[in-house]
Chain A
Amino acid sequence: MSFFLSHFNYIAVAILMMAGLFVLFSSGNLIKRMIGLAIFQTSTGLFYISLAKVFGGTAAIAVEPGSSEARELASRLDPAYVAQYGVDGVVYSNPLPHVLILTAIVVGVATLAVGLAIAVRVREAFGSVEADEIDVLSRVEATQPGPQA
């Protein structure tokens, strides 16, 4: 397998991450920025899961050792490979990154909601979610304290 193919995942993740970062940097709209941040966040997850993949591995749900399923899974692979990297005759992918990313996704949606709630309040206070307009409005408010300030 060529070097490009075996490292394609990392290149794709890097591009996805930068796409998210670009949206985050370049967009003035607060909602669009949150979407950019969410893409950035998921790309981190893709990176972790890429690292956890094992050749010919199966999901980290233990198969009964010696069962017909275990034998069938092992029969697809080189016996020496199974003996070296398998656990009880079955090769599994690494479960630890799966655990980390599983919880990170749910935490991600909760923090996304907090960011969006802030955007909604900003809109209520300034009537806009565009960073430039908010900037101008907040300066006007700072120099001319109105009755609300």
Chain B
Amino acid sequence: MTALPSSFDVTLALDIVLLVMLLVVAGAVARTRSLLAAIIMFSVYSLISAVWLVVMDAPDVAFTEAVVGAGVSTIILLGAILLTRGEAERPDWRRLIAPALACIAVGGLLVFAAIGLPGLGDAASPANAYVGRAYLEATPKDIGMPNVVTAVLSSYRSFDTLGETTVIFAAGVGVALMLGFGPRASLAPPSAVIGDHHVVPRVAAKLLIPLVALFAFYVQFHGDLGAGGGFQAGVIMAAAIILHALVFGLRETMAAIPPRVARSLASLGVLLYAGIGVICMMNGGGFLDYDYLFPPSVEQQIPGWLLGDSEHAHHWGQHFGIMLIELGVLLTVSATMVTIFYGFGGRTVEAARQEAKQ
């Protein structure tokens, strides 16, 4: 075996410390009866795992986990307990025996199976030595962009990503069908005059929202070169809109971005993504084969100064294809998250009104 690099010791130490923190937080989630405490703990859990992902060289995933876990999923969970109730009942201890035994048995089997796995950081393991390496070697030649994660996500495995975008869209439709699109919230009378104690969050939010939205666009368009892409940018954009709704009220946000617009954009994103695939097919390539995005006659018309060096000329279709499908992902992800939030938020407004009637 090759000598271990010295820098690995720091990585390993961080890895172990963060995993122990995750274990402690997961234990706290399992123990607590207060659902609010469980949700906040779960948010902390996501933030720690985001830090751990950076240690494990996965900045793209860390980005996503930080925004999704510590941001959007916390808000959706909080919306759900607002509509249900804040405390779980303490289960009878006798009813915990069977689940505990099942979990210990399965956990034991998993640890037993883990003995046969390659150790942490093994460069020669089958997963790292063949398929991962093949993508790293082929990306500069095939796609011509530095971020291999974006290249694999939106070009090599584009079909897969289309499926996942569609799943997100379908989940948004499912939530909207169950909870409504929340249009009644926009008809609700304006909430009572907001007290002075909300001034600080309002001023802070006014400063933050444009910056968050700008950052979302940076993450979107910088995705080819560094960590980022449509999924992360979509969730960041949704977080900016949700922050606006939390501070200024759902009614104001719905006036700016009506639910109709949100759901139209969600479907437009999927259509744009699939449409790019169809255009590639019409030009003689496979579905989502961006090398055929431009017909040869068009490609010849592209002026030389626009292409940069002629060596990268055949990457023109790849660059445009990836840019357009990432735009589709951005639209679908952000609009779906906003639609889901409107669904939960609209229910909350309605539930409050019914309570007031009674």
CB distance from B90 to the nearest CB of A (A): 10
Q: How many A-B residue pairs have CB under 8 A?
A: 333
Q: A49-B53, A92-B136 are in contact. Are A39 and B120 (CB under 8 A)?
A: no
Residues 1-20 of A contacting B (Cβ, < 8 Å): 1, 3, 5-20
Interface residues on B, range: 35 or more
Given A26-B95, A81-B5 in contact, is the A121-B57 Cβ separation under 8 Å?
no
In the complex, how many angstroms separate the beta carbon of A106 from the nearest chain B beta carbon? 5
Does residue A113 face the partner (Cβ distance < 8 Å to B)? yes
Residues of chain A contacted by B104 (CB below 8 angstroms):
18
In whole Å, how far is B32's beta carbon from the nearest beta carbon of chain A? 9
Bound together, the chains give a CA A105 to CA B60 distance in angstroms of: 11
B231 with A103: CB separation less than 8 A: yes
A140 at interface (Cβ–Cβ under 8 A)?
Answer: no
Q: Are B15 and A9 in contact, with the CB atoms below 8 A?
A: yes
* Complexed CA–CA distance, A98 and B49 (Å): 14
- Is there contact, CB below 8 Å, between A57 and B30? no
Which residues of A are found within 8 Å of B183, using beta-carbon distances? none
Nearest Cβ distance between residue A32 and chain B, in whole angstroms?
5
Give chain A nearest CB distance to B67 CB in angstroms: 9
Known A31-B35, A42-B69, A116-B77; contact A129-B149, beta-carbon cutoff 8 A: no
B contact residues around A121 at 8 Å (CB) = 178-179
Residues B5 and A78 in contact, CB atoms below 8 Å apart: yes
Q: Are A94 and B128 in contact (CB-based, < 8 A)?
A: yes
- A46, B49: Cα distance in complex, Å: 8
Interface size class of A (residues with CB under 8 A): 35 or more
**Given contact pairs A59-B227, A93-B57, A78 touches B26 in the complex (Cβ within 8 A):** no
Residue A61 lies at the interface, judged by CB distance under 8 Å to chain B: yes
A32 with B153: CB separation less than 8 A: no
The answer for the CA separation of A87 and B135 in the assembled complex, in Å, is 10
- Is residue B46 contacting chain A, with contact meaning CB distance below 8 A? yes
> B45 at the A/B interface (Cβ < 8 Å)?
yes
B299 shortest CB reach to chain A, Å: 25
- Interchain CB contact under 8 A, A99 and B153: yes
Q: A61-B146, A85-B124, A103-B231 are in contact. Are A76 and B7 (CB under 8 A)?
A: yes
Q: How far is the CB of B326 from chain A (nearest CB, A)?
A: 13
Evaluate whether A114 and B171 lie within 8 angstroms (CB atoms) in the complex, with A21-B103, A53-B120, A60-B57 already known.
Answer: yes
Kindly supply a per-residue 1/0 record for chain B positions 86-130, scoring 1 wherever the CB is within 8 Å of any chain A CB and 0 otherwise.
Answer: 001101000110111011101100110011011111111101110
Whether B153 pairs with A102 at a CB distance below 8 angstroms is: yes
Residues of chain B contacted by A7 (CB below 8 angstroms): 114-115, 117, 119-120
Contacts of B121 in A (CB 8 A): 6, 53-57
Q: Among the interface residues A15, A42, A46, A102, which one has the most CB atoms of the partner chain B within 10 A?
A: A102
Interfacial chain B residues near A39, Cβ < 8 Å:
26, 29, 42, 45
Give the distance in Å from the alpha carbon of A81 to the alpha carbon of B59 in the complex: 24
Interface flag for B83 (CB, 8 Å): yes
Chain B CB within 8 A of A142 CB: no
Most buried by A among B103, B160, B179: B103
Q: Are A61 and B147 CB-contacts (below 8 A) given A56-B7, A106-B333?
A: yes
CA distance A77 to B29 in the complex (A): 40
A133 to B305, CA, bound (A): 71
Please state if A78 and B30 are interface contacts (CB–CB under 8 Å).
no
Say yes or no: A59 contacts B59, CB within 8 Å: yes
A57-99: which have CB < 8 Å to B? Answer: 57-63, 76-78, 80-81, 84-85, 87, 91-99
A31-B88, A76-B5, A95-B136 given; A12·B146 CB < 8 A: no
Report if B197 contacts A (CB, 8 A). no
4 more A-B residue pairs beyond the given contacts A8-B16, A23-B29, A123-B85, with a C-beta to C-beta distance below 8 A: A26-B95, A54-B121, A98-B60, A102-B149
Residues in chain B within 8 A of chain A (CB atoms)? 2-8, 12, 15-16, 19-20, 22-23, 26-27, 29-30, 35, 38-39, 42, 45-46, 49, 52-53, 56-61, 64-65, 68-69, 72-73, 76-77, 79-81, 83-85, 88-89, 91, 95-96, 98-100, 102-104, 106-107, 110-111, 114-115, 117-125, 127-129, 131-133, 135-137, 139-140, 146-149, 152-153, 157, 160-161, 164, 167-168, 171-172, 174-175, 178-179, 225-227, 229, 231, 234-235, 333, 336-337, 340, 343-344, 347
